[in-house]
Chains A and B, each alone.
Chain A
Amino acid sequence: MKKMTVSNLFQFYRTAIAIGIALLLGYIIILFTRYPSDPASFMEGMKTAFHEANEAFQFFILGPLVRWRRGVAEFNESGFAQWMNETTPLIITGLAISLVFSAKQFNIGAEGQLFIGAVAATFAAVHFPQIPFLHPIVVIIVAMIAGASWAVVPGIMKAKLHASELVTSLMMNYVALFMGLFMIKTFIRDTTAGSLVSLPFAPTSRLILINERYRLHIGIIIAVVSAFIVWWILKRTTWGYRVRLVGDNEQFAQYSGIRTRNTIFQVQVVSGAVAGMAGTIELIGYHGRFLWLFSPGYGWDGIIIATLARNNPLFVLLAAFFFSYIRVGAKIMGRNTDIPPEIVSILQAAIILLVTAEAFLSRWKQRSIEKNARRMEDTPKAEVQL
């Protein structure tokens, strides 16, 4: 195990402090909304506010794991299942974005890729011959191919024409949304249902459930395994090394004989394939039919997750589990109090802003580096890594 460098330690502290500040901010906002409209006195009002805020915060922080029945705390199975299910797409889009970010490509097309992937998968889930075990695998592969082909357009435009992948991938998201809805509506709509949904998926296409009652499906296992695979590809294969080298210094990579444009194209397509799975797994695992009228937003979440994880697939796991934990916590709080669960987006925004702010706490970092350097001068033999 490598010794933690000052830099890494600093990242760790900064993330922890950012999360701390965000939680504090959330608590203060809740406190404000809990202040009664006609308190007997200011102190009385504050007392009620603190009491209610503490109660709400308990649901928020512990909700996904603990529930109280007649005052006795017990394991919250439904909360846990929801947590796992909601983590799944976040991990997968986080991985997809980590891949492109590793090559310093700012691709925000995961949203469209997962949408079109899910649309294509819907056709496979409804119409493909119903062969047990093979069916979900085919569905996922179809989704991956659709996602990858969606990534080809910005990929080619970036690699061949140097067009900004930021704008083109954004455009492709909308094309995916409109085209996808059109396909669902025209070819595979369930006309007996009141709202715009697809025909129900064939039972053989569904993922195995770990917990029947709360519909906890094996998607989370697929996602975790994918994280290790992507980690292995990025950190342990030549291709992954090429991708990272292009990301670190494109010109250097070019001079050392890497065909950078090819690599950029390839990593975009691979990322599209990964993103294609994200929505599909939720559909075949949980919902059992296509029911999105809008983009579900997991692509944007993936950007946050990858950023928090600093593009390390294993940290993506941590970041995704953390983010969906506070989301599920906020929903559980929303069910038990009248605090809107959307408060969690304020916390998320604060976390992203602080974690990505390079200058945040940088003075502290500078000082600790200087301190280490001085220590190194004093004891020449000590091994201090910067």
Chain B
Amino acid sequence: MNDTLRGILSWDFVAQIIRVTTPIMLSALGALVASLAGTPNIALEGTMLMSAFVGVIVSGFTANLWVALVAGIATGVTMALILAYFSLKMKTDIILAAIALNIFASGGTIFFLATLTGDKGSSASVHSLVFPNIHIPIIQDIPILGKILSGHHLITYIAIILIFVIGYMLYRTPLGLRIRAVGENPHAAESVGISVHKTQTIALVISGAMASLGGLFLSMGYVSWFSRDMTAGRGFIALAAQALGGASAIGVALGSFLFGFAEALSYSLQFFHIPYEVTQSFPFLITIGVLAVYAYLKLPHVRKRRTGGINVSKR
């Protein structure tokens, strides 16, 4: 047990948390933007998977990291645009359209992987590149701080910067205001001249791009291959982290850290042959609890609106 504790309390464990949190946090921030615009993006899971796949394949065939990065993000944006086209223009239910995209991604990546490489399990035969780790010159030499702050992955640093960019964008820019207005009440937003469809499309595209970064981190971060269903539900976990974190980018980042912590802990416990499933289910239980509290706090408010006779239906 002492070994376990030591393993958990080490700085490597902190680094591990940061590592597993990165993809969840990127997608969760994307989920935040989409959900504030009133267009919940359930397709994050499929978006991550597709981007992870395209990134590896493109980097394998072009041997250029930056082309792969652009291709991966373009994939995420394309997925988002398909979702936007079907849900906004073709009036498909956005949840169902997203489920369709997830199914497409899950099977489609395996199909194309097998067709392109002849291997159905992973892309081990493709020589893919990885994004580098960043060592910050002076800080890395400071004893403890150096281990926490330096030596992480490029995309991890991007993710941390993006917390603040997304937060600023949502609450300090006209675009953010439009996104929140559209999500809060599309009719009111439309009446003051905001194009609802355009704003929601932008929000979905942002969420798709964020999720694709998360996907690229999975396949081109610490490993250099794609394996089938390698996202393993992280896109859905991101939705949970977003629900837990509420409407602020910092909150969502903290929510993601909780899930990252649980995942990292499960790896450590697994190593020591301790059943890790229980700890892994904790963040979900906590999320349910937090959602219940949120909902409870909102109740009198909802009642007031109801008796006011105004129909504010939200799903």
- Chain A: residues with CB nearer than 8 A to chain B? 33, 106, 108, 153, 157, 161-164, 166-168, 170-172, 174-175, 177-179, 181-182, 185-186, 251, 300, 303-304, 307, 340, 342-346, 348-350, 352-353, 356-360
B93 touches which of A163, A186, A356 (Cβ 8 Å): A356
B104 touches which of A177, A179, A345 (Cβ 8 Å): A345
Known: A108-B95, A172-B288, A348-B107. 14 other contacts (CB 8 A): A106-B315, A162-B298, A163-B291, A170-B236, A174-B237, A174-B281, A175-B284, A182-B281, A303-B96, A340-B110, A348-B104, A349-B104, A350-B100, A357-B91
Contact B91 A167 (CB under 8 A): no
| B24: chain A residues within 8 A (beta carbon) | none
Contact A345 B91 (CB under 8 A): no
Task: Provide the B8-28 mask, 1 if CB < 8 A to any CB of A, else 0.
Answer: 000000000000000000000
* Shortest beta-carbon distance from B215 to chain A in Å: 18
Q: Which residue of A lies closest to B296 (CB)?
A: A161
Contact B295 A157 (CB under 8 A): yes
Contact B295 A162 (CB under 8 A): yes
Contact B278 A182 (CB under 8 A): yes
Q: What's the Cα separation between A106 and B93 when bound, in Å?
A: 11
Contact A163 B292 (CB under 8 A): yes
| B132: chain A residues within 8 A (beta carbon) | none
Contact B233 A33 (CB under 8 A): no
Q: What's the Cα separation between A340 and B110 when bound, in Å?
A: 8
Task: Provide the B91-126 mask, 1 if CB < 8 A to any CB of A, else 0.
Answer: 111011101111110111011001100001000000
A342 touches which of B40, B108, B291 (Cβ 8 Å): B108
A-B contact pairs, 28 of them (CB 8 A): A33-B115, A157-B291, A161-B292, A162-B298, A162-B299, A163-B291, A163-B295, A167-B287, A168-B291, A170-B236, A171-B284, A171-B285, A171-B291, A174-B236, A185-B277, A340-B110, A340-B114, A342-B106, A342-B107, A345-B111, A348-B103, A348-B104, A349-B100, A349-B101, A352-B96, A352-B99, A353-B86, A357-B91
* Shortest beta-carbon distance from A338 to chain B in Å: 8
Q: Which residue of B lies closest to A185 (CB)?
A: B275
Q: Which residue of B lies closest to A179 (CB)?
A: B281
Q: What's the Cα separation between A163 and B292 when bound, in Å?
A: 7
Q: What's the Cα separation between A340 and B295 when bound, in Å?
A: 45
| B104: chain A residues within 8 A (beta carbon) | 345-346, 348-350
Q: Which of B251-280 contact A (CB under 8 A)?
A: 275, 277-278, 280
* Shortest beta-carbon distance from B109 to chain A in Å: 8
Q: Which residue of A lies closest to B314 (CB)?
A: A164
B90 CB within 8 Å of chain A? yes
Contact B106 A359 (CB under 8 A): no
Contact B240 A167 (CB under 8 A): yes
Given A166-B315, A345-B106, do A353 and B284 touch, yes or no (CB 8 Å)? no
Among A106, A163, A300, max chain B CB count under 10 A is at A163
| A178: chain B residues within 8 A (beta carbon) | 277-278, 280-281, 284
* Shortest beta-carbon distance from B164 to chain A in Å: 26
| B110: chain A residues within 8 A (beta carbon) | 340, 342
Q: What's the Cα separation between A275 and B239 when bound, in Å?
A: 23
Contact A162 B95 (CB under 8 A): no
Q: What's the Cα separation between A106 and B42 when bound, in Å?
A: 13
B275 touches which of A186, A303, A356 (Cβ 8 Å): A186
Contact A171 B99 (CB under 8 A): no
Q: What's the Cα separation between A346 and B108 when bound, in Å?
A: 6
B89 CB within 8 Å of chain A? yes
| A170: chain B residues within 8 A (beta carbon) | 236, 239-240
Contact A153 B288 (CB under 8 A): yes
Contact B111 A342 (CB under 8 A): yes
A346 touches which of B111, B243, B298 (Cβ 8 Å): B111
Contact B96 A356 (CB under 8 A): yes
B67 CB within 8 Å of chain A? no
Given A171-B284, A359-B89, do A164 and B96 touch, yes or no (CB 8 Å)? no
Contact A307 B96 (CB under 8 A): yes
Q: What's the Cα separation between A303 and B315 when bound, in Å?
A: 17
Q: What's the Cα separation between A163 and B294 when bound, in Å?
A: 8
| B298: chain A residues within 8 A (beta carbon) | 162
| B291: chain A residues within 8 A (beta carbon) | 157, 163-164, 167-168, 171
* Shortest beta-carbon distance from B81 to chain A in Å: 13
| A33: chain B residues within 8 A (beta carbon) | 115
Contact B40 A343 (CB under 8 A): no
B302 CB within 8 Å of chain A? yes
Q: Which 3 A-B pairs have the closest CB atoms?
A: A345-B107, A358-B91, A349-B104
Among A162, A178, A360, max chain B CB count under 10 A is at A178
Contact B120 A182 (CB under 8 A): no
| B115: chain A residues within 8 A (beta carbon) | 33, 340
Among A168, A342, A348, max chain B CB count under 10 A is at A342
* Shortest beta-carbon distance from B152 to chain A in Å: 27
| B101: chain A residues within 8 A (beta carbon) | 349
* Shortest beta-carbon distance from B143 to chain A in Å: 37
Q: What's the Cα separation between A6 and B119 when bound, in Å?
A: 48
Q: Which residue of B lies closest to A304 (CB)?
A: B99
| B107: chain A residues within 8 A (beta carbon) | 342-346, 348-349
| B96: chain A residues within 8 A (beta carbon) | 303, 307, 352, 356
Among A340, A345, A358, max chain B CB count under 10 A is at A345
Q: Which residue of A lies closest to B113 (CB)?
A: A340
Q: Which of B37-74 contact A (CB under 8 A)?
A: 40
| B106: chain A residues within 8 A (beta carbon) | 342, 345
B278 touches which of A108, A179, A304 (Cβ 8 Å): A179
* Shortest beta-carbon distance from B261 to chain A in Å: 15
A161 touches which of B93, B111, B295 (Cβ 8 Å): B295
Contact B97 A345 (CB under 8 A): no
Q: Which residue of B lies closest to A343 (CB)?
A: B111
Given A175-B284, A358-B90, do A161 and B277 touch, yes or no (CB 8 Å)? no
Q: What's the Cα separation between A353 and B92 when bound, in Å?
A: 7
* Shortest beta-carbon distance from A343 to chain B in Å: 5
